[in-house]
Amino acid sequence: MAGRSLQIWLHGVHVADLVTATRGALRCRYTEEALARWPGNTPMLSCSLPLDDRPLPAEAFLRGLLPEGSALNALAARADVPASDTFGLLARYGRDIAGAVVFSDGPPDTGRYAVEPYSEDGLAGEVAGLEQLPLGVHDDSELSLAGLQNKMLLVALPGGGWGRPVHGQPSTHILKVDNAAWPGLVEAEAACLALAEAGGLTAIEPVVAHIGAQPCLIVARYDRRTVGKVVERVHQEDCCQALGRTAKYQSRGRGGPSFAETAVLLERYAADPERQLRRLLATATFTLAIGNGDAHGKNLALLHDPIGAVSLAPLYDTCPTVMWPRLRTELAMALDGHYSLYDCDRWCLHNEARGWSVPEATAREVVDGTLESLRNALRAGVITGGSHLALTIGRRVENLLLGATAGPPAKPFA
C-alpha cells in the first residue's frame, strides 16, 4: 500500500519520516530540521541511512527492530497485520524498541507511559506463558525486540521487583528464558558475560534467577540509562542494520556481516577509529576464546552518540556454543577466512586484523593482552573453578597463547 507515513523521532527531534513508496517499498526521508541540524552523510539513524535529502531504502534497518519466527507472527496476529507488513508492525509496536528511535503519528506522548508492577506469581505466570504470548505483549504494549529466543522486557521498580512497560514506557531490562533444547544456556551466557566484564568488553551485569520453574537470565539494557526517575534511551543499531543486511550469518556464504565490514564502519564513523578497531579485535579474540558460534551480525552492535559518531556497543549474547556441539561449532564471522571454532588459532586473529590495516605489533598486543586478561579472570574464579565451562575456556585460552588451535570442549553439555 502506497501513501502511508509515520514520523521517526530521535532524542526529542522529528528527524525523519517513514514513508511507503511504489508497491509498498519503505523509505526513510529525513526532515528539513534534521538536514539543517547535522552535516550530510551523518549516520543519525543508521550507518546504512546516512543523512541525505533523498528518500533512502530502509527495509533492512526497520526489519532489524522486529522479532523473528513465532514471536513475529504472534505480534502480527495481535496487530491484525501480515507478518510482512513492517510499516504496520512499527506503527503498532514502535515506541519501545532497540535504540533511541520512536515511531509515532506525532510527538511521542510520554504522558501515556506507565509501569504495571508484577507480583511474584504474576511474573512467573508471564514467563511460563511466553510461548503463547511472546515478549509478554498485551493489548497496551507498544514494544518490540529482535531475535528468536523467548524473552520479555521489564522495568526495574525503584523499591525492588519488576514491572511491565505500558504504552511505550522505556524498559530497563531484558529477561531471557533458558532453552529447553539446550539446558544450561542462560547460566553459561551469564558466566561469559561476567568474563567479558572482567576483560573490559561489557558493562552488563548478568543475574540468573529461577522464576517459577524457569531458569532465566536478566540483564540491564545498555541502550537505556536512568537519570533520577526518568529512563532515557541511548541510540544503537546492530551490524546487520548498520550494513543494510537482513542475513545474520556470514558463514557458509549466507551474506551476513563480517568483522572486516564492521571495521570499515568504525574507520568511517568512529570518533577514535584506532581505539575502536582495537576493541573490535579484542571482541573477536574473546569470541574465539569462549567458543561462541552465535556472534553474528545481530549480536554485534554500534552505539551512536548525539552527533552521529559510532563506537562498539558492550558485548551481549555471549553464548559458548562450543559446549553444545549440535548447536554451532562454526564462527558466525570468519577470522582470516576460517570458521572452525576448533581449528582457528591466534594467527587467524592477527591476519584478520591486518586486513583492517591494524599494524601487526598492535594486533599481537591486543590479542595477547585479551587472552592474558581472560586467563587472569579465570584464575580469579570469575567462572566457577572446575566446571566444564571454565576448563574448556581455560584450555582454549592456553592453546591460543601457545600458538595452537583452540580445540574442542573439555566435555560437551549435550
Per-residue model confidence as pLDDT tens digits over 11-64: 999 999 999 987 779 999 999 999 999 999 999 999 999 999 999 999 999 999
Separation of alpha carbons 64 and 86, rounded Å? 10
Count of Cβ atoms closer than 10 Å to residue 24 Cβ: 14
Confidence of residue 2 (pLDDT cuts 50, 70, 90): low
- The least confident of 69-73, 113-117, 152-156, 235-239 is 69-73
Q: Which of 96, 238, 294, 345 is catalytic?
A: 294
Confidence band, pLDDT 50/70/90 cuts, at residue 205: confident
Q: Is the pLDDT of residue 131 over 90?
A: no
Res 184 pLDDT > 60: yes
Give Cβ neighbours of residue 279 (< 8 Å, ≥ 6 apart). 201, 311, 312
**CA dist., res. 256 & res. 251, Å (int):** 8
In percent, the amount of the chain with pLDDT more than 90 equals: 87
Q: Of 45, 57, 42, which Cα lies nearest the Cα of 13?
A: 45
All cell numbers assigned to 70: 513465532
Contact 288, 344 (CB under 8 A): yes
pLDDT at 409: 83
What was the pLDDT predicted at 327? 85
Share of the chain residues as helix, strand and coil, in percent rounded to the nearest 5: 35, 20, 45
**What is the dotted CATH code of the domain comprising 235-401?**
1.10.1070
Q: In sequence order, which residues have a C-beta less than 8 Å from that of residue 73 and are 6 or more positions away?
A: 83
The fraction of the chain above a pLDDT of 70, given in percent, is 99
pLDDT at 323 over 80: yes
Query: Which residues sit opposite 114 in a β-bridge?
Result: 166
Mean pLDDT value of segment 212-233: 94
What counts of helices (H) and strands (E) characterise the chain? 12, 18
- Among 104, 103, 146, 135, smallest CA distance to 241 is for 146
Q: What does the pLDDT look like over 346-385, one tens digit per residue?
A: 999 999 999 999 999 999 999 999 999 999 999 999 998 6
Q: Is 343 an active-site residue?
A: no
pLDDT at 414 over 70: no
Rounded CA-CA distance 263/245 in Å is 16
Cell numbers for 236:
544503537
Taking only the tens place, the pLDDT of each residue in 145-180 is 998 888 999 999 998 999 999 999 999 999 999 988
C-alpha cell recorded at residue 253: 556464504
Contacts of 315 (CB under 8 A, 6+ apart): 193, 196, 201, 202, 204, 283, 286
Check if the beta carbon of residue 213 is closer than 8 Å to that of residue 219: no
pLDDT of 288: 98
* Contacts (Cβ under 8 Å, ≥6 apart) of 49: 28, 43, 56, 58, 61
DSSP letter assigned to residue 30: E
Q: Are 198 and 382 in contact (CB under 8 A)?
A: yes
Tell me how many degrees the CA angle 213-215-217 measures, rounded to the nearest 5.
145
H or E element: which one contains 237?
A: strand 236-238
What is the Rg, in whole angstroms, of the alpha carbon atoms belonging to the chain? 21
Phi-psi region of 155 (alpha: psi -120 to 50; beta: other; left: phi over 0): beta
Domain positions in the chain: 5-104, 110-225, 235-401
pLDDT at 1 over 50: no
